[in-house]
Amino acid sequence: MGRQVQTGSGRTTGIELSIRADRANWQYWVSYHQGKSTMTFAGLNEGKTFVSRYDKPQQINAGVLYKSNKGWRIGANWTYTSGQPFTLADEKVTFYSGLDTLGITLVQTGKKNNYRMPAFHQLTVNASYEIKLKDILCTFSFGAYNVYNRLNPYFIYATRNDASNTVFKKVSLFPILPQLGVRFVWK
């Protein structure tokens, strides 16, 4: 049994701007990215160009870090990304034999990566305290990922409700996740 490998071309364009400032014990940064990523394959999407799975028209990262002279480090980072493109079936074909259905239903897509998930964004905060005990450097850290508990989409699927209408449901991973850690370094 042979494998078929599709060959094609891709194009990515964009611009990224980044600013960072250091003021005494404070560090601030913000970056912005705007871009487009497309692909073309003769054997996919009827040979028409489509957005790549990695197309992210807008990305923003912003953060702040405070380093005290007493061993504390406190930081926050916010991330925003345009929703990821994905292919969603937009046509359903049921096969019949005479008046009876054969029980075979296929879903088809009209276009590759024809929909985009909702935007992804989250805030992470963390703090750590560092102390030195003889020859051991101890770091205690705690924080949380996705502080405001946004249920960012991981994937979307179609299902039927009680009225037999097609509805789309979003599956999310990683609600707010606390973090606690201890690190020892022997010097």
- Summarised one tens digit per residue, pLDDT across range 46-62 is 889 999 988 989 999 99
pLDDT number for residue 43: 83
Evaluate whether residue 61 is within a structural domain: yes
Total structural domains within the chain = 1
Evaluate whether residue 14 is within a structural domain: yes
pLDDT per position as a tens digit, 75-102: 999 999 999 998 877 666 666 666 666 6
Supply the range of the domain harboring residue 176: 8-86+118-186
Q: What is the full DSSP assignment across 30-46? A: EEEEEEEEEEEETTSGG
Give residue 132's identity as a one-letter amino acid code.
K
3-class state of residue 165 by DSSP: coil
Give residue 169's identity as a one-letter amino acid code.
K
Q: Is the pLDDT of residue 27 over 70?
A: yes
Mean pLDDT computed over every residue of the chain: 88
pTM over 0.85: no
Looking at the DSSP bridge assignments, the partners of residue 16 are: 33
Between the two ends of the chain, the Cα-to-Cα distance in Å is 58
